Amino acid sequence: ETGVTQSPTHLIKTRGQQVTLRCSSQSGHNTVSWYQQALGQGPQFIFQYYREEENGRGNFPPRFSGLQFPNYSSELNVNALELDDSALYLCASSFKKGGRAPDEQYFGPGTRLTVT
């Protein structure tokens, strides 16, 4: 069973540029969530994708956008990068079972983004 993988591992961008981060879900999972983890902080929920549509969103501006593909892999796109976007970006995959309880999320190792 292949776990969640993310690419690239590290990335350096300049303020104002655009970036795309990629995530491959764990085998059998149909849902992908993205989190931003600033230095010294806990992860913050950006959004979740299920059946190729955004399923929920945290308190992030529209310049954070995403895609989910038919094979359940996903991309996170950030436009007009700001210095505060420097963080570890974590992807988590899960299998959406329905019901009230959250599905168990499996996290990738993350992409470290530095904006200069």
For another protein, the binding residues (CB under 8 A) are 4, 33, 35, 40-45, 47-48, 50, 54-58, 90, 92, 101-110
CA dihedral 78, 81, 85, 90 (to 10 degrees): 20
CA count, 13 A, side-chain hemisphere, 10: 2
Closer Cβ to another protein, 16 or 56, answer by number: 56
Amino acid present at 88: L
83 — phi, psi (to 5°)? -60, -35
Minimum Å gap between C-beta 22 and another protein is 15
Minimum Å gap between C-beta 16 and another protein is 28
Closer Cβ to another protein, 78 or 92, answer by number: 92
